[in-house]
A and B are shown apart, each in its own frame.
Chain A
Amino acid sequence: MKKEKILINIEDLSDINNYKKIGINNFLFAVDYFSIGYKSFKLSEIKNIEGNKFLYINRILNSTDVDKLKELADEICIFDGIIFEDIAVYNIFKDKDILLIWNQSHFATNYSSINYWLNNVDSAIISNELTKLEINEILDKCNKNLVLNIFGKNPVMYSRRRLISNFNNNFNLYNDKNVILKEPITKNEFNAVEDDNGTFIFNNTYFNLIPYLNEFNNDKILYYLICANDLSFSEMVKYLNGKIDNTNDGFLNKKTIYKLGVKK
């Protein structure tokens, strides 16, 4: 894996220099108010950081939010790129000098739709709920290089509701807004995080594609995306060097079904 192709989500600004020392120079930052689920920053905190700086705008926006985003457009354009969820972001920045990466969660699942977007933006992040076979077909048939998520807690739900506060308030519990939800039958654990703009839920086991990287056409990959949620720099480096403990391979080897009783 070429380190210069890694794009890593930053939760602690003091990690940046450490990552630079091992050859990682592309950084992704969640932005206050416009991001959800991740540790976010004010634009003023990150604008002077050296390296390639991408903003992660992953909220679904209402019209007032769109107005606020427009007011910040010039300030945002000093960054290198935006990874966006809401299409309003594309509409606002499409004619500006900033790299745009489409990341409509769970929607980048076929080469045809991704190619539509690649006619309009610079790249797209391939969705996580796909098999190796599906990802490779997408990489082969897409017209530009793509971003592949290779490590992190995968997002599994985004709600506009304050699900944790509602529950805590209903039962008069201390309102900790970062909790684990464990499904008792399947034993799946999810990490739910809430702020004023809603609740964001991650699968609590780290997804790890790194051991499979040689099974993909790496020439078609623009960036390897890493979201090192809650992991320190030193822990993350262990995974980059091949550690696989406490990780899973998501759907890489497991095709999802949707019609019960029908063999696809």
Chain B
Amino acid sequence: MIELLSPAGDLEKLKFALMYGADAVYIGGQDYSLRANAKNFSREEIKSAVILAHNLKKKVYVTVNIVFHNEELYGLKEYLTYLDSINVDGIIASDMTVIKLHSELNLKLELHISTQASISNYETALFYKKLGAKRLVLARECSKEDIERIKKSTNLDLECFIHGAMCTSISGKCVLSNYCTNRDSNRGGCAQICRWEFEYLKDNEKITNIPFSMTPKDLNMVPFISDMIKVGVNSFKIEGRMRSIYYIATVILVYRRLIDKIVNKTLTDEYTIYCLNILNRCANRESTPQFFDKLPGISEQYYLGRQELSNQDFLGLVLDYKDGIATIEQRNNFSVGTKVQFFGPNIETFNYEITEIMNEDNELIDVARHPQMITKLRVPTRLEKYDMMRLKVFDI
């Protein structure tokens, strides 16, 4: 089984993730999830998400992955029972209370051990197998050899992150946020202090005036997906429950097609390079493999005051296509002459130069400059609702 697993911060993102090729999504409820300040899902929304996914023969996993304090224990049993009753496919957890309740309550949903549990060796993996885990989300620090040995020892489903932001620390082993902001990182309040800058001192003297930084670049496993399949990884996980629909759609589609091409043995070097270009552009951050093939060194992190400038590549969302006219909701400015690229789950990505733009009243305009304005473009190639239009930066 090979599964592409997408984050989904809300129902809209979930729909895009599934539409663009994810086999499963992981979501957080409004309690007990490590993205406490994301929109997250109400209980009714989780139920809707499960129905929607199951209708597409896809899966929903719910994160119950905070490290519980005493006060959060109340209501947990009832919550887990509810998730089971609405046919959630699995929960992702690291706290031992959740793990033991999974067994005590005889829940039919799968138990997945969160990356917070820092599993990076076969003995720890065997421990969780004995407790009923169906799947292990391995520590991001695992090397190829670590993954291979864990697979051979446990034969459990293995889930590994393949793309997105990295913790500087081993996941769960950081409370910098607690100390600097009083926000509890292991209950979803992480303020990402490891992305801040520090003065660098020894014996009360500054070692240098250059601010100390320890921010890792994002993870990007495009070059190693094939190797990961070979060593037994089953679920390929994208990070980013707080990311936009554009990010989700772009990243999921890239990995969907990459995995399919690997499985079908049609992957080319050109396509791999295209994937890397698109992914790096989409996140506004550099991304690179991290621990799979080596111990990350100086090239795998950032220094100095790097700014994350958001680009305006996402130009519009296709709402309708009829008789050669695409109705597009504007997301960033575009004008006559702009070179764009259309992409979507059921079309081959293609380039296009905008020759004319009409507004909602079918009047010709030169520029679409108002957020979410409805525009119409004459596009000869067939599009579908929810396809996306982005600035053309790279050739296909």
| A interface with B by C-beta (< 8 Å) | 60-66, 86-88, 90-92, 105-107, 109-113, 116-117, 128-130, 134, 137-138, 156-163, 166-167, 169-171, 173-174, 176, 178-186, 188-190, 198, 201, 203, 251, 254, 256-260, 264
B207 pairs with A61, CB closer than 8 A: no
B169 pairs with A158, CB closer than 8 A: yes
CA distance A40 to B178 in the complex (A): 28
Q: How many chain B residues touch the partner (CB < 8 A)?
A: 78
B121 pairs with A183, CB closer than 8 A: no
B202 pairs with A87, CB closer than 8 A: no
A62 pairs with B146, CB closer than 8 A: yes
Interface SS majority for chain A: mixed
Bits for B148-184, please: 1 = Cβ < 8 Å to A, else 0. Answer: 0110000000000000000011101111101111111
CA distance A188 to B179 in the complex (A): 8
B124 pairs with A167, CB closer than 8 A: no
Q: What residues on B are CB-neighbors of A171 within 8 Å?
A: 208, 210, 303
**Closest Cβ–Cβ distance, residue B339 to chain A (whole Å):** 37
B68 nearest CB neighbor, chain A only = A110
Scan residues 43-101 of chain B and give those whose CB is less than 8 A from a CB of chain A.
66-73, 94-97, 99-100
B198 nearest CB neighbor, chain A only = A181
CA distance A137 to B73 in the complex (A): 13
A167 nearest CB neighbor, chain B only = B212
Please list 5 pairs of residues, one from A and one from B, whose beta carbons are closer than 8 Å in the complex, sorted by A's number: A107-B67, A157-B176, A189-B201, A259-B37, A259-B189
Q: What residues on A are CB-neighbors of B207 within 8 Å?
A: 173-174, 176, 179
A178 nearest CB neighbor, chain B only = B202
A262 nearest CB neighbor, chain B only = B36
A181 pairs with B188, CB closer than 8 A: no
Q: What residues on A are CB-neighbors of B298 within 8 Å?
A: 166, 169-170
A110 pairs with B198, CB closer than 8 A: no
Tell me whether B332 is interfacial, beta carbon within 8 Å: no
A182 pairs with B201, CB closer than 8 A: yes
Q: What residues on A are CB-neighbors of B181 within 8 Å?
A: 186
Looking at the complex, which of B15-23, B289-297, B311-319, B364-372 is the stretch in contact with chain A? B289-297
A-B contact count (CB 8 A): 220
Q: What residues on B are CB-neighbors of A92 within 8 Å?
A: 123
Q: Which of A65, A66, A264 contacts B71 (CB 8 A)?
A: A264
Q: What residues on B are CB-neighbors of A251 within 8 Å?
A: 178
Known: A107-B95, A161-B301. A86 touches B72 (CB 8 A): no
Q: What residues on B are CB-neighbors of A258 within 8 Å?
A: 36, 66, 183-184, 187-189
B179 pairs with A156, CB closer than 8 A: yes
Bits for B202-228, please: 1 = Cβ < 8 Å to A, else 0. Answer: 101001101011101000000000000
Q: Which of B70, B170, B198, B296 contacts A134 (CB 8 A)?
A: B70
**Closest Cβ–Cβ distance, residue B178 to chain A (whole Å):** 5
Q: Which of A87, A105, A113 contacts B124 (CB 8 A)?
A: A87
Give me the 8 closest cross-chain CB pairs, A-B, nearest first: A258-B189, A88-B123, A256-B184, A113-B96, A181-B198, A180-B201, A258-B187, A158-B173
**Closest Cβ–Cβ distance, residue A103 to chain B (whole Å):** 12
**Closest Cβ–Cβ distance, residue A93 to chain B (whole Å):** 11
Q: Which of B121, B150, B183, B200 contacts A257 (CB 8 A)?
A: B183
A105 nearest CB neighbor, chain B only = B173
Q: What residues on A are CB-neighbors of B121 within 8 Å?
A: 61-63, 65-66, 86, 88
CA distance A183 to B212 in the complex (A): 10
CA distance A188 to B199 in the complex (A): 10
Known: A87-B124, A256-B183, A264-B71. A156 touches B146 (CB 8 A): no
A91 pairs with B73, CB closer than 8 A: no
Q: What residues on A are CB-neighbors of B142 within 8 Å?
A: 62
**Closest Cβ–Cβ distance, residue A44 to chain B (whole Å):** 25
Q: What residues on A are CB-neighbors of B95 within 8 Å?
A: 107, 110, 113
CA distance A62 to B122 in the complex (A): 8
Q: Which of B117, B127, B204, B303 contacts A170 (CB 8 A)?
A: B303
Tell me whether B118 is interfacial, beta carbon within 8 Å: yes
B123 pairs with A87, CB closer than 8 A: yes
A166 nearest CB neighbor, chain B only = B298
CA distance A60 to B208 in the complex (A): 32
Q: What residues on A are CB-neighbors of B141 within 8 Å?
A: 60, 62, 160
A62 pairs with B124, CB closer than 8 A: no
Given A63-B149, A106-B175, A163-B301, 14 other A-B residues pairs in contact with their CB atoms under 8 A: A105-B173, A109-B67, A109-B186, A110-B69, A113-B97, A117-B96, A128-B175, A130-B69, A156-B178, A160-B291, A163-B168, A171-B303, A181-B212, A256-B189
Q: Which of A88, A161, A179, A260 contacts B200 (CB 8 A)?
A: A179
Tell me whether B126 is interfacial, beta carbon within 8 Å: yes
